[in-house]
Structure 1
Amino acid sequence: MLDTTRLAYYFPTLSFSFEHDIRTRLQRLHLRARSTFISLQDMSHYPCTSNDIPPILIEPFILRGYRSLNQPWSYYWKSLFHKHNETINVWSHLIGILYIGHLLYYYNQRLKFYENSHSWPFAVSLCTAIIMFMCSVFAHLLHSKSETVHKTCFAIDYIGVSLHGFGSGFLHIYYSAPQWYYDKIEYQYVFILLLLGMLACLSNCFAQYYFCPPYPPLKRICQFLPCGILWIYSVIPLIIGLFPLNFPLDSCSMCHLGQIILFIIGGILFAFDLPQRFCPGALDFIGQGHHLFHLCVYLITLCQMHGVYWDYEKNQKIIDQRSKPHLIFCAGSMICLMLWNIIIVCYFRRYLREKHHVHKK
């Protein structure tokens, strides 16, 4: 218990009780959170259920809150400010864009991106994170217009996932990898990252366009396996730097370990449709696995950027002695991956149009 008498002795001008003030503030915070939650649950929502839309648009164990198909584009843009089963998905990553924009400014003040070429991999990774969040917002907000738009939107989302996986690996190898590992695999590592990024986008687009509801387990294998391989490869520098674990962990090691644990938790929730699998319909608007996965992605990005920045501060003398990375190599590799992914998406879009045309005949 806090000894307010002793505090009053040393600070006699304090005219309020700390205990009372903290208790009051917590009660107000609880009431506001409860009011917000109740308001969200009671807010008018889109009336479509899983019985009213095509199977391709149905999320497993999500029964309500779907938006109508074939509405004007303004209908979907305005849904940003209404309650449906994608509201949390959209806003969680919109907030992510704002947060990464803040980090871009914050780290530019410390690393001087324009002047310090050793900070360019950091800037590239921040840019890929922003693109990933933007692609996700675009996909979750607009995909309900039609089956074709749904496939296109999530193909664009896969571009963002691929880019962020590449940007994460690029960040880890340059700032967090032990020097011996960096010397051994620097350029090969980035080249393999590019290939794995393209494979992740290609495999997800293939699964999205090739398989039809009811989806076989092979669809999820095609989607998650390449992304899992890309993630594992991107965190190898962190794992090498972490183990053997020496407790107590320093701040950057805690961030790296937290990033890995959060990704595993988020991936399990997303892949196995948890927790809505155990209570279908109860978590349609808030609390479903995809919402929690987005929260994990947000926290992963936070841990990643802060942990790597502390690695850079700790190893700055070693990093500054390396050959300076070329801007063309840093930005060019990101742009190269983006262009190849756009070509992949366009190819599958063309395949979908031709398939649709054949069915019409």
Structure 2
Amino acid sequence: MPRWALVCLSSLSMHRRRLSAFSPPPPPQATVPAKDVPVLFREPFIHGGYRPAGQRWSCYLLSLFQVHNESVNVWSHALTGLVVLARFLLLVGAWPAPFDLTALPLCLYVTSALTYLTCSAAAHLLQSRSELAHYCLFFLDYVGVCVYQYGCALAHYFYSAEPAWRQTAVAAGFLPGAALLGWLTCASCCFAKLRYRRPYPLRRKVFQLVPTSLAYLLDISPVAHRLANATGSPPDAGGGGGVGDVGAADDALALHALQIFFFLLAALFFSCPVPECFFPGRCDVLGHGHQIFHLFLALCTLVQQEALFRDFRARWRTLELVHGRDTLVGACASFPTLVLCSLLTAGLMCWRANRKLNARPKERS
């Protein structure tokens, strides 16, 4: 072949590669049964609705608009994140004074909620790309859980706790304990995800639920104390002379009770594969337990946010006086530290997952 022809073919090939980068991605492939995806991706009693592994990343992004067994998991948390952000912006827009240091725990709480919702939606949307992507994305999901736990702890401590609770031994170690249990939740869930293979033993659930449950019991303790004492008066309002909004605190108390109710229902459906265990293959796309868990957790977050907004309105004027500027700054400064520690933990587990996958052939049956 003449030299000029070779040059033309080489140039044409180069231009085709450049143009392919801008070409529209192929449409997502049809869903496949459980037998056609790696064992790691399969869920008990879910027989179909899986997306095939090994497609381009754009295919999984486009699967946002496809019906598959992760659709509800993705949309439930994605839409909740939009509602959380919109509600916060409405609060900021209607607030009569500039946000200052007293609003920092509230801003971190909203940030933590958006973080866990975004990480969860991304994990469920993209995890089918490969086994390594599956591991890494769910490790990131656990980082979101950890961050959200500590964001809740900050908000409950500064906005929802009563003076009597702050005199207890639990309150003395509350914030360091919440940070430690948050990180332990992330590390323990990452370990359990990587360590155990299907069929999962009971130990895996223990590693997931024990630190998560302990973190929740600690984080919710200011609210639980308030509910146990059945008082709706705003914290620190006594002697405050009209600085609080008693009506807001009364409404917040009922909302706090509702957020606990929704969380307990979410925990139930997370722990047990119902109703799909009674109808194998019938709840593949709609109605399986993890989807119901997502919906109740989303409701819990929305109700909790509203309760905290009302608590914030009831006590923002006295917050710095009660806790002091140093306590506020120190507690909030620990937030990015916890995020960094959790990300480093997840990164280490991603490295270990990569080594594990490279040490054995990928399973397809």
- TM-score, normalised with respect to structure 1: 0.82
**Counterpart in 2 of 1:336?**
337
User: Per-residue deviation at 1:304?
Assistant: 0.8
Note the alpha carbon deviations across 1:262-308, whole angstroms, 9 max, x for none: 11111101210111111112221122111111111111111111112
SS of 1:278's equivalent in the other structure is coil
**Counterpart in 1 of 2:307?**
307
Q: Distance in 2 between matches of 1:196 and 1:241?
A: 22
Q: Does 1:77 align with 2:61?
A: yes
* One-letter identity of the residue aligned with 1:275: P
**Counterpart in 1 of 2:325?**
324
SS of 1:139's equivalent in the other structure is helix
**Counterpart in 2 of 1:224?**
209
Bigger mean CA deviation after superposition, 308-317 or 145-154:
308-317
User: Per-residue deviation at 1:183?
Assistant: 5.4
CA spacing shift, 1:358–1:50, aligned 2, 3 Å: closer
**Counterpart in 2 of 1:128?**
112
Higher relative contact order (CA 8 A, sep 6+): 2
Q: Does 1:140 align with 2:130?
A: no
Q: Distance in 1 between matches of 2:313 and 2:260?
A: 21
SS of 2:173's equivalent in the other structure is helix
User: Per-residue deviation at 1:324?
Assistant: 3.0
User: Per-residue deviation at 1:325?
Assistant: 5.6
Q: Distance in 1 between matches of 2:125 and 2:254?
A: 34
Q: Does 1:202 align with 2:203?
A: no
**Counterpart in 2 of 1:17?**
none
* One-letter identity of the residue aligned with 2:211: P
SS of 1:68's equivalent in the other structure is coil
**Counterpart in 1 of 2:240?**
none
Note the alpha carbon deviations across 1:237-256, whole angstroms, 9 max, x for none: 00000114479x94211111
1:46 paired residue among 30, 33, 45: 30
User: Per-residue deviation at 1:211?
Assistant: 0.7
User: Per-residue deviation at 1:188?
Assistant: 2.8
User: Per-residue deviation at 1:109?
Assistant: 2.6
Bigger mean CA deviation after superposition, 81-90 or 236-245:
236-245
Q: Distance in 2 between matches of 1:272 and 1:325?
A: 44
Unaligned runs of 5+ in 2: 1-27, 233-248
8 Å contact 1:113–1:119 — kept in the other structure? no
8 Å contact 1:117–1:325 — kept in the other structure? no
**Counterpart in 1 of 2:252?**
252
User: Per-residue deviation at 1:348?
Assistant: 1.2
**Counterpart in 1 of 2:12?**
none
Q: Does 1:161 align with 2:162?
A: no
Note the alpha carbon deviations across 1:152-180, whole angstroms, 9 max, x for none: 11110000011111111111111111123
SS of 2:283's equivalent in the other structure is coil
Q: Distance in 2 between matches of 1:141 and 1:114?
A: 38
Q: Distance in 2 between matches of 1:180 and 1:159?
A: 33
CA spacing shift, 1:57–1:114, aligned 2, 3 Å: farther
User: Per-residue deviation at 1:313?
Assistant: 3.0
Q: Distance in 1 between matches of 2:326 and 2:207?
A: 34
Unaligned runs of 5+ in 1: 1-43
User: Per-residue deviation at 1:328?
Assistant: 4.9
Equivalent pairs, count:
316
- TM-score, normalised with respect to structure 2: 0.81
Q: Distance in 2 between matches of 1:271 and 1:140?
A: 18
SS of 1:65's equivalent in the other structure is coil
CA spacing shift, 1:274–1:325, aligned 2, 3 Å: farther
**Counterparts of residues 11-90 of structure 1 (less than 5 Å):** 46-90=30-74
**Counterpart in 1 of 2:173?**
188
User: Per-residue deviation at 1:77?
Assistant: 0.8
8 Å contact 1:112–1:119 — kept in the other structure? no
* One-letter identity of the residue aligned with 1:221: V
